[in-house]
Chains A and B, each alone.
Chain A
């Protein structure tokens, strides 16, 4: 077993392809009697090993659907197009019954709600052991022993006893640690964290973020960190993409994005952050709503809410282009 594991540890074979995750032209469509809805529209990005990509945007911008597409878990009615590859292996062509071998082993996910993400009728040790049993061919006994190790790794005190606990016997922060242990048990290439700290209170949030960063240093996986919380993203991400209505509107390194936001939507998002030094009576908001994505919309999807929008913005779709090295923006009003 041990030798098996060593081979899947970061080694020369994996370093040959430094990009852990490549997504190219990913789209997710839902067709209903009301017509076609494109909830993710031509999204492309890549994450290198050991790097963290922050994905920000408001609710319904397609960030969670992107994550589900990476796991092949888009609901049946949805249609996924585009290319996804993990450490050089393309996932777009694989058959439906091969997906379970990818999930949890190559790409793993941490969900938003630790309260409901765990099976209430199963001991947490067994839930972690299940991943190891499924993917690493361990017997249940071996898998349970490994599960205790994983619980220790995520900082759960007296892990051997806690492995026998049921989820309801743990606090929210502890449960999220269990979810993380489960996701990382097989040392995946890519970890998708979908709002992993949103449901936790602030002190626990910091602990969980710290834990994730420590484990990333140890395991070396790429992390796609989805959040609407800009403060958290600025802290944990190397690069950031900003999504709006299913499209990427801006991409830059975290430092660049927060010091020099170029897209009006990004600027609006950053402006809505409350600042402690200047007391505000009212928090700024971005007026308007996310448009319906039924294909009738022409031009920039943000134009309806944008103060800078003119006739060009309503007529032509802006493409994502490089404004300065490593900083891409999809906006007619931003010129290099």
Chain B
């Protein structure tokens, strides 16, 4: 197990290294650099001034050399400054990462529990009333665009009923836990509804498949009653494939909750990456993307560990 973890962590470091080079390279290939922007915004600057500034910041050097310098600095804990915010990148990415972690963790926990429960219940009688209803709702959930859903939720709960704030994150340090939690309810609800359908369908089909297996018949022939057959025998075996989907969702949500984060003015990782790319804030985009990659890798690692824990045929050595 320890060997497995060490090997996986090493693999993750390699992936991050490669990713950092690829992202750095792609950003370097984009037309324009920070100095061009300064020239544009300051008509008093001459071409000679620009060249001096480039030499000062090392921008006249080849891409590889610049990357190497960045990497050495980053490994020493210096990720550089954000151009737009004029603050260290980590000061921006840190809170964004924390915000997104809260959002994703809550979303995954709620949607997984609900989806698994609904999936199991549907699979007990496929084609029955409950299953038909849940299938309909799932497809509706999959089909509804999240920006529309966010708008409807804001209309209903913020504008109409006035129960919850329409957007924002609350001021840090002010108000209690409940106050900051209130700001999370609608974004989490949006993401849960968008996520639930897919995972429910997956849990359902995986459960139906498992319930057809021979060992389920054996369990019944033993005299196990139906709840026991479903929960003790079928469920752990069906869960493995659901875990995979949840693991994939983990990564997608981290950088992909952009629309929801935008709708609810949540300064999360997706929104930060998007703004940074639009604002030519290369350092910030680079580091935020690397953190998103890291989160995805962690998600996969957790899924693999859960997998091995559930299915004794998979060993993690």
Q: Chain A interface (Cβ within 8 Å of chain B)?
A: 71, 73, 97, 100-105, 108-109, 111, 113, 116-122, 130-131, 134-135, 166, 168, 179, 182
When distances are taken between beta carbons in the complex, the residues of chain B under 8 Å from A105 are 223
Query: CB < 8 Å: which of B218, B220, B310 contacts A179?
Result: B218
Asked if residues A104 and B214 are in contact (CB atoms below 8 Å), the reply is no
Q: Is B83 an interface residue (CB 8 A)?
A: no
The CA of A71 and the CA of B224, in the complex, are separated in Å by 12
A97–B226 CA distance with the chains assembled, in angstroms: 10
B237–A119 touching, CB < 8 Å: yes
Q: A120-B311, A121-B237, A121-B311 are in contact. Are A134 and B218 (CB under 8 A)?
A: no
Given contacts A100-B225, A135-B223, contact A168 B217 (CB under 8 A): no
Whether A168 contacts B221 in the complex (CB less than 8 A), given A111-B214, A116-B214, A122-B233, comes out as: no
A182 to B311, CA, bound (A): 22
**A interface footprint on B209-236 (CB within 8 Å = 1, 0 otherwise):** 0000111011111111100000001001
For the complex, what is the distance from the CA of A83 to the CA of B217, rounded to whole Å?
Answer: 23
CA distance A315 to B161 in the complex (A): 79
**Contact in complex: A118, B218 (CB < 8 Å):** yes
Q: Once the chains are docked, how many angstroms separate the CA of A97 from the CA of B223?
A: 10
Q: Is B160 an interface residue (CB 8 A)?
A: no
Could you write out 9 A-B pairs with CB less than 8 Å apart? A73-B220, A103-B221, A103-B222, A103-B223, A117-B214, A122-B233, A131-B223, A134-B224, A168-B313
Which residues 60-84 of B have a CB within 8 angstroms of A? none
Question: Which residues of B lie under 8 Å from residue A119 when comparing CB positions?
Answer: 215, 218-219, 233, 237
B312 within 8 A of A: yes
Assembly CA distance A101 to B225 (angstroms): 9
Convert B236-280 into 0s and 1s, putting 1 for each residue whose CB lies closer than 8 angstroms to a CB of A.
Answer: 110000000000000000000000000000000000000000000
Give chain A residues whose Cβ lies under 8 Å from the Cβ of B236.
121-122
Closest 3 CB pairs of A and B: A104-B223, A116-B214, A103-B223
Q: Which of B122-143 contact A (CB under 8 A)?
A: none
Write out the residue numbers on chain A whose beta carbons fall within 8 Å of the beta carbon of B213: 116
Say which size band chain B's interface belongs to.
10 to 19
Inter-chain contacts of B233 with A (CB < 8 A) = 119, 122
Q: B313 contacts which chain A residues (CB < 8 A)?
A: 120, 166, 168
In the complex, the answer to whether A121 meets B222 with C-beta atoms within 8 Å is: no
Among the interface residues B221, B225, B311, which one has the most CB atoms of the partner chain A within 10 A? Answer: B221
- Asked whether, in the complex, the Cβ of B222 is within 8 Å of the Cβ of A111, the reply is no
Bound CA–CA A121/B311 (angstroms): 6
Residues in chain B near residue A97, CB distance under 8 A: 225
Query: Separation in Å of the A144 CB from the closest CB of chain B?
Result: 16
From B218, B223, B224, B225, give the contact of A117 (CB < 8 A).
B218
Name B222's contact: one of A120, A134, A168 (CB within 8 Å).
Answer: A134
Closest-CB distance, B236 to chain A (whole angstroms): 5
CB-based nearest B residue for A179:
B218
Q: Quick one: given A113-B214, A116-B213, A121-B311, are A101 and B223 in contact (CB under 8 Å)? A: yes
Task: Give A113 to B225 CA distance when docked, in angstroms.
Answer: 22
| Minimum Cβ distance to chain A for residue B229 (Å) | 9
Distance, CA A73 to CA B218, complexed state (A) = 10
Footprint of A on B, CB under 8 Å?
213-215, 217-225, 233, 236-237, 310-313
CB distance A108 to B214 under 8 Å? no
Contacts of B219 in A (CB 8 A): 119
CA distance A113 to B218 in the complex (A): 11
Closest to A72 in B: B220
Asked if A102 and B223 make an inter-chain contact with CB atoms under 8 angstroms apart, the answer reads yes
Cα distance A121–B216 in the bound complex, in angstroms: 12
Chain A residues with CB under 8 Å of B225's CB are 97, 100
B220 CB contacts on chain A under 8 angstroms: 71, 73, 100, 103
- B221 and A73 contact, CB distance less than 8 A: yes
Given contacts A103-B223, A122-B233, is CB(A111)–CB(B218) below 8 Å?
yes
A111, A116, A117, A182: most-surrounded residue (chain B CB, <10 A): A117
Q: For residue B217, which residues in chain A have a CB less than 8 angstroms away from its CB?
A: 73, 111, 117
B224 to chain A: which residues have CB within 8 Å? 100, 104, 130, 134
The minimal Cβ–Cβ distance linking B316 to chain A, given in whole angstroms, is 15
**Cα distance, A103 to B206, chains bound together (Å):** 27
Interface residue from B214, B222, B312 paired with A182 (Cβ < 8 Å)? B222
In the assembly, what is the distance between CA of A117 and CA of B222, in Å?
Answer: 11
Bound-complex Cα distance A97 to B225 (A): 8
Which residue in A101, A117, A135, A166 is a CB contact (below 8 Å) of B312?
Answer: A166
Find the residue from B213, B223, B224, B312 having the highest chain A CB count within 10 A.
B223
What's the Cα separation between A119 and B218 when bound, in Å? 8
Bound-complex Cα distance A131 to B233 (A): 13
Known: A100-B223, A108-B221, A130-B224. 7 other contacts (CB 8 A): A71-B220, A71-B221, A116-B213, A117-B215, A120-B237, A134-B224, A179-B218
B37 to chain A, nearest CB (A): 58
Taking CB atoms, residues of chain B closer than 8 Å to A168 are: 312-313
Which of A109, A116, A117, A119 has the most CB atoms of chain B within a 10 A radius of its CB?
A119
Closest chain-A Cβ to B290's Cβ sits at a distance in Å of 37
CA distance A179 to B215 in the complex (A): 10
For the complex formed, measure the closest distance between the CB of B226 and the CB atoms of chain A, giving whole angstroms: 8
In this complex, what residue of A is CB-closest to B221? A109
> Most A CB atoms within 10 A — which of B213, B310, B312?
B312
The answer, among B215, B221, B312, for a CB contact under 8 Å with A116, is B215
Q: Please, which residue of chain B has its CB at the minimum distance from the CB of A109?
A: B221
| Chain A: CB-nearest residue to B238 | A121
Q: Which residue of B lies closest to A122 (CB)?
A: B233
With the chains together, A73 CA to B223 CA distance in Å?
11
State how many angstroms separate the Cβ of B80 from the closest Cβ of chain A. Answer: 48
Minimum C-beta distance from B266 to chain A (A): 39
